[in-house]
Amino acid sequence: MEDQVPLKPAPSLGRMFTDVFTSPGEAFEALRGTVSAPMLWVVPMIVSVLLAAVFTFTIFNDATLRSQILQTQQQAIEKAVREGRMTQDQADVASERLESGGTGLYMAIGMVAAVVAVAAFFFAGALFVWLAGKVFLKTPEGYSAHLEMYGSAEWIGILGSIVTLLMMVGLGSMYARPGGSLLVLSTFDASSTFHKLLAAVTIFGFWQTAVVGIGLAKLAGKSAIAGLGPAFGLWIVWVLIQAFVGIGT
């Protein structure tokens, strides 16, 4: 019986944090064939969850941003009436509750929803990345390795979220993001699929996707460019979901 090759120690959290920005190819090459290192995904997930809570708290404590949220919800109610999904009486009740509801209640609900969504998307994102690696690159690595890779790449997404929050507060708009929405910021229409499509395309999203693609390839033992196709394919699907379904926008 052949001796099994012992697994290497995984890179440290600090090394992965810095290398994912400066040399992702080397970072993920070092991750291949290593022992499980849950901290590589646990820490960025916790930071992402906390950031989601801070994001929600900040938005609901900014009068301009809060009014934009309520306006968007009111527009959604009016659209439901026009499409026959809600009667005018039901709309009046919903609008009254919207106007009389306390900020604290909306903020609490928003915080819980944001935290749950971030955690769910974190594991789901890693799952789809792992499946893409299995189908397209025949990677020998399991889900845990892809979760560690995906979690390490999430540091870019965390930086993007911080920049986005600063832009929203600084520019006084829920739609101020480092990407396509800046092209239509002064006339942004939350009911426009095209505008939501622009909002879903951000610099940091593009950057993070490229890094995930490199990670996919390195875990599969292939050249960095091999993973870009599957990674950007998944990204395009996610952008379209945000634009047409509204999830994540």
pLDDT in tens, 116-134: 888 899 999 999 999 999 9
Cα–Cα dist 196/190, whole Å: 7
The residue among 228, 173, 172, 181 whose CA lies nearest residue 200 is 181
Q: Can you tell me the mean pLDDT for 73-77?
A: 78
pLDDT at 107 over 80: no
> What φ, ψ does residue 37 adopt, rounded to 5°?
-135, 80
pLDDT at 189: 86
pLDDT of residue 45 exceeding 90, the answer is yes
What are the tens digits of pLDDT across the range 219-242? Answer: 999 998 999 999 999 999 999 999
pLDDT exceeds 90 at position 81: no
**Averaged pLDDT, 4-24:** 90
For the chain, what is the mean pLDDT? 89
Domain residue limits, the chain: 24-244
Q: Is the pLDDT of residue 3 over 60?
A: no
Per-residue pLDDT, 7: 83
Q: Is the pTM of this model over 0.95?
A: no
Average pLDDT rounded to a whole number, residues 54-70? 87
Question: Which of 103, 47, 73 is closest to 190 using CA atoms?
Answer: 73
Mean pLDDT, rounded, for 62-77: 83
Residue 249 confidence (pLDDT): 59
Adjacent-strand bridge partners of 34: 8
Q: Say whether pLDDT at 103 is over 90.
A: no
In percent, the amount of the chain with pLDDT more than 70 equals: 93
Provide the pLDDT for residue 2.
Answer: 46
What single-letter amino acid sits at 20? Answer: V
